[in-house]
Structure 1
Amino acid sequence: MTCTYLTIKEEISNVAIIKEVYDNENAHETFEYELERALESECSLIIIEPSKLGDETSRWIAVGNCLHKTAALSGLAAIATGLIWGDQPYICGPLGFTSVISCGLYTVSWQFDPCCQYQVETDTSKLPHVELLAVLGPSSPTFLVRKDDTRRRILHTTITLVALGISAWRVYQAFK
């Protein structure tokens, strides 16, 4: 699928619109196929009109965000508690373990999914082309905006590795 190129104020935008048109009994599968093609085409903005597909996609993105935040925050907590309370590995150990598990789940099940490059945008004033909303009509679509998540992945992986190192060292010291 090539993204629909719309000219708005003399600017060419890489936008895909998944219209809610029920023209056959397999419409939902068609919507899913169109979404996959738009994700693989790396469109900068994807507008999903079918509410069921939009909700499913939003929840999937929320799962990835939760895994990322859990890995980063538990890793930071493990690092802090490992440095502050070095004699109490039962605090930093589980936090480091949680960070490793969350980062591992993200890496295995989420990192290579094309959806991880997108975030749900609920504030329509932040959309690249607010003028596009007039074309959509009365529906309340889901907006996916492509964002580079390389720094985010490097950040939570680095935090997790440091947390693992500190946690393992503190547990080793306690049982030595």
Structure 2
Amino acid sequence: MVDEAGDRDDSANVAIIREVYDSENAHETFECELERALEAECSLIVIEPSKLGDETSRWIAVGNCLHKTAALSGFASVVTGLIWGDRPYICGALGFTSVITCGLYTVSWQFDPCCQYQVETDTSKLPHVELLAVLGPSSPTFLVRKDDRRRKILHTTITLMALGISTWRLYQAFK
């Protein structure tokens, strides 16, 4: 069941997905509750069912990995393209990696409401620490909503720069 606590403004709402197995389709019910909480843009989502929490954590980790790969390989492509103008294959390979991972992120994760959340493992950083007393002995997964616009702009800009420099270096090499 999704419980919304806190103030009624959008910055303070919390969703708790309780681990209550009241039917044979409980896992599907948990997934529906998570979808509703993501669409409601809750600032904190507490997921008590461990299976759903693990699946969601892995999904977020894959998106984070794609973002970091796009940004780091793009940055490395730009640096190697500027430093080693005579080695376009290094710059080109890194630029290609950045373009592919940025494209995968854009197609698969950008429009997913889950990409705006990060898993928080340090409970002292949670916005609603008083909720921990209500949760009980389980070890839930905590999702905290983060603004990811700057992150998307960063990796897209770096990828476009890497694509430009890689293309230029490859053009110079084959000219």
TM-score by length of 2: 0.96
- 1:74 matched to which residue of 2? 73
Structure 2 gaps of 5+ residues are none
- 1:5 matched to which residue of 2? 5
- 2:23 matched to which residue of 1? 24
CA distance in 2 between partners of 1:31 and 1:123 (Å): 24
CA distance in 2 between partners of 1:141 and 1:3 (Å): 15
Tell me the CA shift for residue 96 of structure 1: 0.1
Q: Secondary structure at the match of 1:22?
A: coil
- 1:97 matched to which residue of 2? 96
| Contact 1:78–1:163 under 8 Å retained in 2 | yes
CA distance in 2 between partners of 1:95 and 1:60 (Å): 24
- 1:164 matched to which residue of 2? 163
Read off the aligned partner of 1:49 and give its amino acid letter: E
Tell me the CA shift for residue 129 of structure 1: 1.3
Flag the 1:2–1:42 CA change in 2: closer, same or farther, 3 A. farther
Read off the aligned partner of 1:54 and give its amino acid letter: G
Q: Secondary structure at the match of 1:132?
A: helix
CA distance in 2 between partners of 1:88 and 1:102 (Å): 22
- 1:55 matched to which residue of 2? 54
| Contact 1:119–1:147 under 8 Å retained in 2 | yes
| Contact 2:2–2:17 under 8 Å retained in 1 | no
Q: Secondary structure at the match of 1:4?
A: strand
CA distance in 2 between partners of 1:143 and 1:99 (Å): 30
Tell me the CA shift for residue 3 of structure 1: 6.2
- 1:119 matched to which residue of 2? 118
Read off the aligned partner of 1:5 and give its amino acid letter: A
Q: Secondary structure at the match of 2:143?
A: strand
Tell me the CA shift for residue 101 of structure 1: 0.1
| Contact 1:96–1:167 under 8 Å retained in 2 | yes
RMSD of equivalent CA atoms: 1.4
| Contact 2:15–2:44 under 8 Å retained in 1 | yes
- 1:14 matched to which residue of 2? 13
Read off the aligned partner of 1:68 and give its amino acid letter: H
- 2:152 matched to which residue of 1? 153
| Contact 1:3–1:41 under 8 Å retained in 2 | no
| Contact 1:18–1:31 under 8 Å retained in 2 | yes
TM-score by length of 1: 0.95
Name the % identity.
85
CA distance in 1 between partners of 2:28 and 2:79 (Å): 47
Q: Secondary structure at the match of 1:119?
A: strand
- 1:88 matched to which residue of 2? 87
